[in-house]
Structure 1
C-alpha cells in the first residue's frame, strides 16, 4: 500500500511514518498543501491523509478539488477541529473519514484499513459508459439501469441523471446544493426539496427494505452505498 500524507507537523509525520513501517506501508510525506496537491496528481496512491490546516492550500480545499476532478481515492482528514460543523464540512467536501488530534496511531491505522477495504470492494467499474457495482449496472449510453439483474424501466430522465452521478461517486457525501448544481446544472437559490423528492422516488423505485442504497447523512446531504455495511 502506498499512501500520501499531507501534514505540516513534522512530529505527527514521524509518528505516522513509524507505524507505516510496522505495517509495511510506503508513505510519502509533504508539508505544504499546494505542493501536496500537485504531488497527488503526479503519483499513484492507495489512500490520502491530509491535515485541515496547511500552508498554501488547506485540506478542505484539497479534498474538494480532488473530488471535483472525480478521483475516487480514500481520503482521511486529520485536524484539531472537533466541532460537529467542522466534521460536516470535511465530509461534505469529500473526506471519507475524520480523525481529530491528538489521536492514537492504532486508531488511524484501523481507519486506513477500513476505508481502503471499502474502496477496494465497492468502487464501481466503468467501461464504455457503463458503471458496474455489486448490485447496479448503469448504462449511460442507453440510459438503462439494472439492479440485481432486474431492469428498472420507470425512471425519469432527471432521476437517472441523479442516480448515475451518485453511483459514479460511491460513499461520497453531497449536500443538496452540490447535487442541484452538478446534476441539474445550475445554482439553485430556492426550494432544495427538489433533491429530497428525487431521492425519495429513487428509493421507492430501486430499493428494498432489506437493501437501502441512497443514504441520508444528517446535517449534510446524501450518499450512495450499495454495500451491506453502509451506515
Structure 2
C-alpha cells in the first residue's frame, strides 16, 4: 500500500509515517504542503490513499483535497488536523474527505481510522 502524507510539520510527518509503516503501509511519500503534494501525486497512479493536514502554507489541505477531487480522483482521503469545529468537519466532508482524524491521536486510533477507509489487506 502506498500513501501520500501531506503535513507542513516534518516532525509530524515522521511520527505519522512511522505509525503507518508499523501497520500495513509499504510506502509513504511525504509532502510539506498542497503544492508539493500535487506535484508528487502527479496522475495519482500507484497511490492507495492520501492523508493530509489542513493548516499548511502555500496550499492548505482543504484546497488540496478539492484539487484532487476536481481532477476526478476517487481514492480515499483522510484529513488529519487540529480543527474540531463541526463546521470545519462539514467543510472537509463536502470537499471530499472520507474520514477525519483529530490531532493528537494514538496508534490505535490511527489504525481504526485507516481500517474504516481501507480494510487491512493482511486480514483479507
**Shared topology, TM-score over 0.5?**
yes
* 1:36 is the counterpart of 2:20: no
CA contact (8 A) 1:33 1:62 kept: yes
Higher relative contact order (CA 8 A, sep 6+): 2
Call closer, same or farther: CA 1:39–1:75 in 2, change over 3 Å.
Answer: same
2:118 aligned residue: 116
* Higher mean C-alpha deviation, range 52-61 or range 14-23: 14-23
Counterpart in the other structure of 1:121? none
TM-score (norm 2): 0.87
Please give the per-residue CA displacement for 1:145-199, whole angstroms capped at 9, x wherever unaligned: xxxxxxxxxxxxxxxxxxxxxxxxxxxxxxxxxxxxxxxxxxxxxxxxxxxxxxx
User: RMSD over aligned Cα, in angstroms?
Assistant: 1.4
**Residue correspondence of structure 1 range 120-135 to structure 2 within 5 A:** none
Bigger radius of gyration, 1 or 2?
1
Query: How do residues 1-231 of structure 1 correspond to structure 2 at under 5 angstroms?
Result: 1-25=1-25, 26-43=27-44, 44-117=46-119
Specify every segment of 5 or more residues in structure 1 that has no aligned partner in the other structure, as ranges.
118-231
User: What is the total number of aligned residue pairs between the two structures?
Assistant: 117
Q: TM-score, normalised by structure 1?
A: 0.48
Deviation, structure 1 residue 34: 0.4
- Gap runs ≥5 in structure 2: 120-124
Is the Cα contact below 8 Å between 1:15 and 1:105 reproduced in 2? no
